[in-house]
Amino acid sequence: MSRKPNLKDVAKVAGVSAITVSRVLTDPTKVSDKLRNKVEKAVHEIGYIRNHAASALASKKSGVLAVIIPSLSNIVFNDVLQGIYQAVKAKNLQVLLGDCHYSPLIEEQLIATLLSQSPEGFIVTGTAQTDYARKLLLQADIPVVQIMELTNQPIDMNIGFSHYQASYDMTKHLLQQGYRAPAFVGARMDPRTQQRLAGFKQAIADWPEPCRSFIQTTVQPSSIKLGGQLLQAVIAESDNQCDAVFCCNDDLALGAMFESKRMNLNVPKDIAICGFNDLEASALVEPAITSVASPRAEMGRQAVEMLFSAAGKGRHAVAPVDVGYSIMVRSST
Amino acid sequence: MSRKPNLKDVAKVAGVSAITVSRVLTDPTKVSDKLRNKVEKAVHEIGYIRNHAASALASKKSGVLAVIIPSLSNIVFNDVLQGIYQAVKAKNLQVLLGDCHYSPLIEEQLIATLLSQSPEGFIVTGTAQTDYARKLLLQADIPVVQIMELTNQPIDMNIGFSHYQASYDMTKHLLQQGYRAPAFVGARMDPRTQQRLAGFKQAIADWPEPCRSFIQTTVQPSSIKLGGQLLQAVIAESDNQCDAVFCCNDDLALGAMFESKRMNLNVPKDIAICGFNDLEASALVEPAITSVASPRAEMGRQAVEMLFSAAGKGRHAVAPVDVGYSIMVRSST
DNA sequence: AGCACCAATGATTGCGCAACCATTTTGACT
DNA sequence: AGTCAAAATGGTTGCGCAATCATTGGTGCT
């Protein structure tokens, strides 16, 4: 046999009908032990592997879960992915992963492409999908979960936490520690970073005593190195007045921390540094960096569970889930 | 229209035949401008998305690339993945990603599962596949690339570099710097880590002058924290004799570096520290950490290219590729 | 033994698309 | 205008499987 074996070939070898072979592969309990053994032997003997395309076409089940994240290089989404893969392992699912590079337009194209695989569920990051992307997702009639942030107008289901509120709390923490000239340092400036910036501004505005504040942002992607550069920039721009730096993520914060060492600045005396995401390194550098922790893997896991409990129940089958966050106060502030 | 639109629905709206719509989607140059415009308008209007299962079944092309990595949490494989995704973007391919958690048995199951999707190519990490996994891959009659390491018996194609040689060179560097009691610190102990350990041992053995060496390993997964613990352990075990620590990766090296600060050890005077993989942080901590750099994203990119240039050419269409490495000497040694 | 009922198995059919081949239209040339 | 080749378009069919319904065989009961 040169071509790939199909169900009929197995059936012939096993001396049963094709549909019986199919049943052995999908639900062995439906077949008697005798036939099942014969079939399994035949399958192994000729190395039969089911044709997924035909199976998906006939059954209208693709066994595929579509996931779009904004970046493969940002370790934050890796944690979420790990949770997703862990939850998916038990179920009979394959993950189709797309990286939209923080672009809603690329995301839209990816959604169209991934939808062509008839995924049984869709996980997208954030809430900034284009109108057409939303339309496609709604039309697909599959459960959709938007993760990472919370929104009032979810496409379907939603799990995340408030970056605005977390940032507000962190800024308040800085002010409570006595810092009166905090700076917000942001890179990439994706929607979640902007929400963090908004929380920072509001916390400053709400503070009863007078205080100054500085803002230094760039659309460049985050990196540790960039954190050092932005620290330099904000110190220069503030004319040495700023006494605390709230970095929009821990990569920048680590970079700022390393740079402050080089500049012989004492953290937290000369300047406080805090970040966001609570990467492992943040807790282990000296001084350890105050950061915002959130249960990312758990969020990924729950997103998958939501997809499953929502299957066939129409839109908004599961209420939005706020996974919360914690301000991990450490010696850097 | 409640059910999902299909080719015929689009054809009706556009006033053409179904096959014309199909052509617009697969090769627009085969259709006149007039019809193409009509079709594209209709597609967008009703939000048509091609059914991939049917397409794959009819055309015998799945448009899928299977990739297996040992860990999603190890940032090293992220770099490779990025390269893969970048290379795949241009081609009309989707990536099916599997995480085998460093287990050949899970890998074997994953290979079987992913093969059912009729991938047009397969990328696996390392060279430690089980015999049955190798058989399945060979039988599938698709191009296969083993990445990360080099091997004399590749399943098909192979791209990577010698972890043994890199480790040998790094150890030699330590000895040349005058350290005479280096320790190798390893976690996870996957095949590549073992190759690094072997390189370390050989370099010690080959060194003309007498020197001591220490080895501290664990099968626990790597982490920054673990790096600190292993540093403590190796110092204790060597009775304070060891003067250099070669960590099997940069996570451990960073942890060792942070820990050495806490222990008030001067790096590199009291103790040298070096790592492997050259993560961004390694170059930016103070003192910067000597490490082994390799072109990981480029490796991923090239692996995809190899799959393509090999398509239809049978086994070993492309010779093994050694992407090499560089010892990044920094102030920690 | 006879009956009812359920489990096990089989035959037919259609999922949605692209390959293949047939037909029509276009346009380049005499 | 007429001819022919090439380009554009359409009709029919089958990819391999599982849903559906039909049939067979077995079991427990009176």
Domain CATH code at residue A276: 3.40.50.2300
pLDDT-derived band at B1 (thresholds 50, 70, 90) equals very low
Please tell me whether residues A112 and A71 are part of one structural domain.
yes
How many structural domains compose chain A? Answer: 3
pLDDT tens for residues B218-230? 999 999 999 999 9
Average pLDDT on B52-58 reads: 92
Q: Is A281 on the interface with B (CB under 8 A)?
A: yes
pLDDT tens for residues A158-214? 999 999 999 999 999 999 999 999 999 999 999 999 999 999 999 999 999 999 999
What are the φ and ψ backbone dihedral angles of A271, each rounded to 5 degrees? -155, 135
DSSP letters, A34-50, are HHHHHHHHHHHHHT---
- Asked whether the predicted pLDDT for residue B38 surpasses 90, the reply is no
Please tell me whether residues B230 and B111 are part of one structural domain.
no
A16 touches strand C (CB under 7 A): yes
Would residue A182 count as lying in a domain?
yes
Alpha-carbon span B231 to B222, nearest angstrom: 13
- Asked whether the predicted pLDDT for residue A1 surpasses 70, the reply is no
B180: region left, alpha or beta (phi > 0 left; psi from -120 to 50 alpha): alpha
What's the pLDDT score for residue A32? 82
pLDDT tens for residues B229-287? 999 999 999 999 999 999 999 999 999 999 999 999 999 999 999 999 999 999 999 99
Please tell me whether residues A85 and A130 are part of one structural domain.
yes
CATH number for the domain harbouring residue A17: 1.10.260
Q: Is B1 on the interface with A (CB under 8 A)?
A: no
Residue B8 burial (10 A CB sphere; 0-12, 13-18, 19+): exposed
Please tell me whether residues A279 and A314 are part of one structural domain.
no
Contacts by residues B15-23 (CB-CB < 8 Å, ≥ 24 positions apart):
none
User: Which positions in chain A touch B57 (Cβ < 8 Å)?
Assistant: 51, 53-54, 57
User: Which positions in chain B touch A52 (Cβ < 8 Å)?
Assistant: 53, 62, 116-118
- Asked whether the predicted pLDDT for residue B53 surpasses 60, the reply is yes
Average pLDDT on A109-137 reads: 94
What's the angle, vertex CA A255, arms to CA A252 and CA A260, rounded to 5?
125
Q: Is B225 on the interface with A (CB under 8 A)?
A: yes
Please tell me whether residues A256 and A218 are part of one structural domain.
yes
Helix (H, G, I), strand (E, B) or coil at A196: helix
User: From the CA of B330, how many Å to the C1' of D27?
Assistant: 81
Please tell me whether residues A185 and A211 are part of one structural domain.
yes
User: Which positions in chain A touch B116 (Cβ < 8 Å)?
Assistant: 49-52
A23 touches strand C (CB under 7 A): yes
Alpha-carbon span A122 to A307, nearest angstrom: 8
Would residue A316 count as lying in a domain?
yes
User: From the CA of B52, how many Å to the C1' of D12?
Assistant: 22
pLDDT tens for residues A148-158? 999 999 999 99
pLDDT tens for residues B63-82? 999 999 999 999 999 999 99
Please tell me whether residues A96 and A144 are part of one structural domain.
yes
Judge whether B144 and B132 are in contact, CB under 8 Å.
no
DSSP B247: E
Residue in A258, A231, A264 with CA at minimum distance from that of residue B283: A258
Please tell me whether residues A173 and A287 are part of one structural domain.
yes
What's the pLDDT score for residue B293? 98
Please tell me whether residues B174 and B269 are part of one structural domain.
yes
Q: List the beta bridge partners of residue A215.
A: A184
What's the pLDDT score for residue A30? 81
Range of the domain at B67: 61-161+296-324
Q: Is B99 on the interface with A (CB under 8 A)?
A: yes
In this prediction, what percent of chain A has a pLDDT beyond 70? 99
Would residue A55 count as lying in a domain?
no
Q: Do A281 and B224 touch (CB under 8 A)?
A: yes
pLDDT tens for residues B101-121? 999 999 999 998 899 999 999
Q: Which amino acid is at A306?
A: M
What are the φ and ψ backbone dihedral angles of B129, each rounded to 5 degrees? -65, 150
Q: Give me the helix-helix angle, B33-46 and B7-14, nearest 10°.
A: 120
CA A283, A285, A291, A295 torsion-angle sign: negative
A115 touches strand C (CB under 7 A): no
Please tell me whether residues A173 and A274 are part of one structural domain.
yes
Please tell me whether residues A168 and A275 are part of one structural domain.
yes
Judge whether A92 and A120 are in contact, CB under 8 Å.
no
| Residue B57 to residues A5, A44, A279, Cα–Cα distance (Å) | 15, 23, 45
Q: Distance, in angstroms, between A241 CA and closest chain B CA?
A: 26
Q: Which amino acid is at A229?
A: Q
Nearest residue in chain A measured CA to CA from B251: A281
Judge whether B68 and B123 are in contact, CB under 8 Å.
yes
Please tell me whether residues A139 and A213 are part of one structural domain.
no
| Beta-strand pair A291-293/A326-328 | antiparallel
User: Which positions in chain A touch B280 (Cβ < 8 Å)?
Assistant: 223-225
**Least confident interval from A21-35, A52-66, B172-186:** A21-35
Residue in B176, B177, B171 with CA at minimum distance from that of residue B204: B171
- Asked whether the predicted pLDDT for residue A68 surpasses 60, the reply is yes
Q: Do A225 and B136 touch (CB under 8 A)?
A: no
Q: What is the mean pLDDT of chain B?
A: 93
